[in-house]
Chains A and B, each alone.
Chain A
Amino acid sequence: MPLDDLYKEVILDHYKHPRNKRAVDGALSVSRNNPLCGDEITIHAHLQDGKVAAIGFEGQGCSISQASASMLTEAVDGKSVQDAGALARDFRGMMEGAVEPDEDQLGDLVALQGVAKYPVRIKCAVLAWDVLQETLGQAEDGAAVAEGS
Chain B
Amino acid sequence: MEPPLPKEAEVSQLEEAALKVVETAHGMRFASATLLERRLVELRDAVEGGLETQAGLRAVVTASRRVVDGASTDHLLKSGRGGAPFVTALRGLRQILREFESRAKG
Within 8 A of A (CB), among B4-41: 12, 15-16, 18-19, 23, 26-27, 29, 31, 33-34, 37-38, 40-41
| B21 vs chain A, min Cβ distance (A) | 12
B41 and A36 contacting across the interface, CB-CB below 8 Å:
no
B26 and A7 contacting across the interface, CB-CB below 8 Å:
no
Q: Interface range on chain A: under 10, 10 to 19, 20 to 34, or 35 or more?
A: 10 to 19
Chain A hits for B38, CB < 8 A: 63
In the complex, number of A-B residue pairs with CB atoms less than 8 Å apart: 43
Complex alpha-carbon distance, A62 and B37, angstroms = 7
Chain A hits for B26, CB < 8 A: 36-37, 62, 120-121
| A65 vs chain B, min Cβ distance (A) | 9
Is A15 interfacial (CB-CB < 8 Å)?
Answer: yes
Q: If A36-B29, A121-B26 touch, does A3 touch B34 (CB 8 Å cutoff)? A: no
Q: Residues of B with Cβ closer than 8 Å to A?
A: 12, 15-16, 18-19, 23, 26-27, 29, 31, 33-34, 37-38, 40-41, 44
10 additional A-B residue pairs with CB within 8 Å, beyond A12-B44, A36-B26: A2-B15, A2-B19, A3-B19, A7-B41, A15-B41, A35-B29, A38-B34, A63-B38, A120-B26, A120-B27
